[in-house]
Amino acid sequence: MTTPISERRLANAIRTLAFEAVQKANSGHPGAPMGMADIAEVLWRKFLKHNPTDPNWLNRDRFVLSNGHGSMLQYALLHLTGYDVSIEDLKNFRQLHSKTPGHPEYGYTAGVETTTGPLGQGIANAVGFAIAEKTLAAQFNREGHTIIDHQTYCFLGDGCLMEGISHEVCSLAGTLQLGKLVVYYDDNGISIDGEVEGWFSDDTQQRFEAYGWQVQKVDGHDAEAISQATQRAISENTKPSLIICKTIIGAGSPNKQGKEDSHGAPLGADEILLTRQALLWEHEAFELPDDIYEGWDCKVKGQALQQSWESEFDSYKNAYPELASELLRRVNGDLPLNFAQVAQDYIQACQANPENIATRKASQNTINALQPVLPELLGGSADLAGSNLTWFKNARALEDDASGNYIHYGVREFGMTAIANGIALYGGFIPYVATFLMFMEYARNAVRMSALMKQRVIHVYTHDSIGLGEDGPTHQPVEQLASLRATPNLHTWRPCDTVESAVAWVEAIKAQSTPSALIFSRQNLPHQARDIEQVANISKGGYVLAREQGELRAMIIATGSEVELAMAAYHDLTAQGLGVRVVSMPCAEVFMQQDINYRDGVLPPQVRARVAVEASHVDYWYKFVGLDGKVVGMTSFGESAPAKDLYPYFNITTDAVIQAVKAVV
């Protein structure tokens, strides 16, 4: 029989902290924390393997609150179990620079594994954690030494399951047999707009069984049933597990439980008083008795778990010292000692051995050159490996080999990217994912999240312009580059040849706290001549590719495939006696991070006769050319035709660049 709610004192501590914090902030979501308190109490006290005194312990279980609006649930758990989240932090819920922001934010709060705000991305990150755990274990565990061995737990709600991304990632999780992924579904039937049955009538059990998951249904307020279901989920090694927990939103609130009123607004002072009475909770706001803290505290237990694991790891180090050292290097995010030299040698070789090839092919060549010294590279593509050219010589697909290094994501751009965020957060890997640049739009929110969380995820986007050709405007990106460049903490590289492509990859790999978007062409592009200094300056994001003859009168700024047009215009204008400079700008964000002396040396501020050329939306480039300059590019969507016909049709030609320069001089 289910224990009366008034007797669930440990769970009720979560409930009271949640509704008090929301009330004090005068905003937030008390309903989910109150409804899921019983599930959380069972998981965090009985099953979760963690150490509050060392939130970054390698072999800890990962916990993700995908329904992130219920953040007070997680903050209450962190406080109660002994993490660096004080009662004052809870009182400061949703306030500026607090450890308890409105939604869980990675890097703000000890014990928060990922940022969860946009619904559905938390479960996607959890799938990424589970993939990373399984793959890292397969790569490093040895007989008698199981050093990577833990669960990934995730809470989610109706909203997460309605989001399409949940289908993408849960389908893949079943296919990859992620048996250490356990998900609790808060089946309360309520969203902000009310009872969800009017717009969400899926048979969730059948849905997940069709994915290949183990599915159980329990009373989400029955501790014993939750415990038994969790144990069965842990015992299932080949299938991810979904535990459907029937709950009451706002459980404990006499007048607002089971209603949308408790979802996203404070309960109110009068209802809080009644709720305290219903819970038989006699303590003041934010006041918890000693026995509650004693019942919740996980510090001693957590330290013992970690110490036991550290003893096992010491044995592993003795048996496999090189493997242990390599594992620690990877989880610390450090690059191999020889990476810099290998990278530099390859870049120089690209310059010394000219090739006129598509930059997507140059990208693949770079992966092949760097991957042998970067076993942490974990690649993938959204069913476009043959077009994105992301498959490499030593690639081994995870569906065939758990210790592999390549994921066939299928046509799941959004899911793929959010999973990669989870893999990066987990550590030990540098994930890259790929699709056509146009279909970045499907993944846009996850790209933003990688930037927000400062994760080294490499987003490979090919078929970068109207140069795609015959597939037409649905496949030809126009505004996408501007969107990526406008994203804070994202480096967008659009290289013009093999050398710039190699540099883009190297810089993306080196950028530990910044994701990168690498933009590559479908069509072949000519190799550009450079001296040693010019090659070195590519990594600065922008550099002088062709210097003026005589007095500098005008500058042409170009990226990617349009550098070829800029160089042709340069030769023509120079022959006419006009002092013109060509600046290649593969990454404007990195260029803008350089010191002012370098930037002014490349783009002298007194020279206002400037032309930018890129087969993308023109608006972005006015920040560089100003009101006096001109931009040769796109102002409309594309058309279906061969690339050779599209460039002249849209007037993105050498002659157009020449005329633009003459117009501004």
d(CA 10, CA 297): 11
Which residues have a Cβ under 8 Å from the Cβ of 83 and sit 6 or more positions away?
52, 55, 109, 110, 111
Q: Are 94 and 25 in contact (CB under 8 A)?
A: yes
Q: Report the alpha-carbon distance of residue 131 to residue 648 in Å, rounded.
A: 47
Catalytic one of 105, 113, 413, 500: 413
Can you tell me the distance from the alpha carbon of 437 to that of 387, in angstroms, rounded to the nearest whole number?
A: 12
Find all residues with CB under 8 Å of 316, minimum gap 6, and list them: 142, 145, 147, 323, 324
Instruction: Provide the 10 A C-beta neighbour count for residue 164.
Output: 12
Handedness of CA 415, 417, 423, 429 (dihedral sign): positive
Residues 184 and 67 sit within 8 Å (Cβ to Cβ): no
Contact 435, 444 (CB under 8 A): no
DSSP string, 21-75: HHHHHT-S--HHHHHHHHHHHHIIIII----TT-TT-TTPPEEEESSGGGHHHHH
* Residue whose structure tokens are 């609790």: 184
Beta strand spans in 281-368 (E): 357-358
User: What is the pairing mode between strands 458-462 and 516-519?
Assistant: parallel
d(CA 545, CA 495) in angstroms, rounded, equals: 13
- Could you identify the residue written with the tokens 């289908």? 167
What is the Cα–Cα distance from 460 to 416, expressed in whole angstroms?
12
Q: Is there a contact between 183 and 242 (Cβ–Cβ < 8 Å)?
A: yes
DSSP SS3 for 416? helix
Annotated active-site residue 312? The verdict is no
- CA gap 602, 549 in Å, rounded: 15
C-alpha pair distances (Å), 465 with each of 384, 394, 470, 474, 626: 17, 30, 12, 11, 24
CA terminus-to-terminus distance, the chain:
85
Can you point out the beta strands (E) in 84-163? 152-157
Name the nearest CA neighbour of 539 among 482, 496, 500. 500
What are residue 620's phi and psi, to 5 degrees?
Answer: -55, -40
Active site residues: 413
